[in-house]
Every structure is written in C-alpha cells, then in structure tokens.
Amino acid sequence: MQILRTLSDLRQWRAAVPAGRTVGFIPTMGALHAGHMELIERGRKENDLAVVSIFVNPLQFGPTEDFTLYPRPFESDRELCERAGVDAVFAPEAGEFYAKDHATYCEVEGFDRFLCGASRPGHFRGVCTVVLKLFNLVQPHRAYFGKKDIQQALILRKMVTDLSLNLEMILVDTVREASGLALSSRNVYLSEGEKDRAVALFRALSKARALYLDGEKNAEKLKGILKAEIETSDPTRIDYVEIVSQARLDPVLSLEEPFVMAVAVFYGKTRLIDNFLLP
C-alpha cells in the first residue's frame, strides 16, 4: 500500500494506473470505523484499485467547531487500510492541499437550507469544494459515500450530475449495531445509558416507515410520530425532525415523491443523526 503525501505523489500514482483499470475512491477524514470499512470493502470489491483519502478538511468546519480537536489517529487508520487491501492512501497536510491564496469554492445552491445545513452555514460548500478537488486529482470511476450522512451524499450526487463529472456515485447503506443504533465516530462520546436511549432514533424511524408503508401519506403526521417516539427516550434536545424530498432536499407535505425522513438529536452533548430513504 502506498502512502501519498503530496498532490504530485497522487498525480504520479494516478498516471501510472494502466488504462482500462478501474479506480474506486473513498474520501474520509480518518478516525475510521466499521461504517468507513464497509465503504472501503465495496470500493475494493467493485474496482481494480481502491484509494482512500484521509484529510481533515478545514473548509467544512465553522469558526466554533472542533477542527483542531478532530481525532487524527493516522497510524491505526493506516493499518486498517492496509489490512483491508487498499492500494493507496492520500493523506496531505492542509498547507499542501490548499494554497495560501485558495479562493475557489463549489456550492450546490439551495440544498443546504434544511437539515444539517441549517445549523452549519458554509459546511456543505466546504464539503463540495474538497470533494470536487479530490475527484479532479483521483479521477475515480466510482466514489463511495455513506447514506448515514444523507444530505452530504445527495448534495454531492447533485454536484456530480450538474457538473457532468465522469464518475459513478455509490451510496452505501448505513451500518448499524444489533440494537439499530447507526454507527458513528460520535457514539464513543455516549454513556451506556445515553446509548440505550439513542436507539429511539431507529425505533422512531422504523415506526414512521411502517405507517407510511401502511398508506399514511401525510408528512406532518409522520413527523408527529417521529417526535413523539424520540421524546419517550428523554433526549437532551431535538435539533430537527424533517421530511424532505430526495430531489431538492426541501420539506414536503405529501409523500408522493421519493423522500428522506431525517432526525438530529442530542443526548448529553452528543448530537446524533439518522435517516431512512423512502419508498
């Protein structure tokens, strides 16, 4: 497995890939967990070569967010990639990746007005900018993203379509614990009690899905069910309970088009997100 530290290392590695061989790309910020490993596994199986990027992208952190505190366990990430059969890891320093006078950004307009975008202004602009630059450098045939961060995945898919990027976006199902709790790097911050309570997110989504499949098409009613079920778990704060269209990521009233039920809830200081895509 090669470790690529500079843009020119990556360009050289990419130029040496023989024509006709496919490249799968898994962008990450490191601190890899089983959810990332699922993306890596798919990327490896479905392509001749798999590249993982590990880069904590300063552009997607707000001024009050934890950019400097974000975990960077590079050695264990490297080992995990090696064991998973990854061909190359691209792990640049921020100063290497962005020039001091970097001034170009990419934005999918209107898609960050709701869900996580509402409380993180500029976050998805930072995500789109870094991913577009990474796509440009890696030139992958396929790129892998988790459905757990559904707003990110759908915004990036829209960017790929709008800019006619020549790659396939693969959205991979959320990996869950046996209880239904979605895997997240943030789960380590939960106490045992909070972890038990947080299973309410999956329970609420499952309940609302069952009602929808039984014929309920009123989004407000389903949001009520979601909220009521989450409230039984004594959450510290519900950040949002939303039902939005998959095509535009804006709230829908009637469930006639593909939609996402998405929730963000605090247990203690930890903010958890989860969602179901329907139908």
CA angle 191, 196, 202 (to 5 degrees): 125
Question: CB of residue 16 vs ligand PAF: minimum separation in angstroms?
Answer: 24
Residues 100-129 that bind ligand PAF (CB under 6 A): 127
Is 33 marked active-site?
Answer: no
Residues 147-206 that bind ligand PAF (CB under 6 A): 149, 152
Crossing angle, helix 123-138 and helix 150-162, to 10 degrees?
60
Which x/- pattern over 43-62 shows residues binding ligand PAF (rule: CB under 6 A)?
--------------x--x--
Examine residue 131 and tell whether it contacts ligand PAF (CB under 6 A): yes
**Binds ligand PAF (CB under 6 A): choice among 24, 27, 35, 43:** 27
Instruction: Compute how many residues bind ligand PAF; rule: CB under 6 A.
Output: 10
**Binds ligand PAF (CB under 6 A): choice among 4, 10, 29, 50:** 29
Q: Under a CB-based contact definition with an 8 Å cutoff, are residues 79 and 126 in contact?
A: no
Please state, in angstroms and rounded to a whole number, the distance separating the CA atoms of residues 59 and 64: 13
Examine residue 77 and tell whether it contacts ligand PAF (CB under 6 A): no
The verdict on whether omega for the bond into residue 279 sits within 30 degrees of 0, i.e. cis, is yes
Please state, in angstroms and rounded to a whole number, the distance separating the CA atoms of residues 21 and 23: 7
Number of C-beta neighbours around residue 255 at 10 A: 19
Residues 220-239 that bind ligand PAF (CB under 6 A): none
Examine residue 140 and tell whether it contacts ligand PAF (CB under 6 A): no
Question: CB of residue 185 vs ligand PAF: minimum separation in angstroms?
Answer: 9
Among the listed residues 36, 102, 123, 141, the single catalytic one is 36
Examine residue 28 and tell whether it contacts ligand PAF (CB under 6 A): yes
Q: Which value, to the nearest 10 degrees, does the dihedral of the CA atoms of residues 168, 123, 59, 150 take?
A: -30
Alpha-carbon distances, residue 238 vs 18, 75, 147, 201, 231 (angstroms): 50, 36, 21, 11, 8
Query: Which residues carry out catalysis?
Result: 36
Q: Footprint of ligand PAF on this chain (CB under 6 A)?
A: 27-29, 57, 60, 127, 130-131, 149, 152
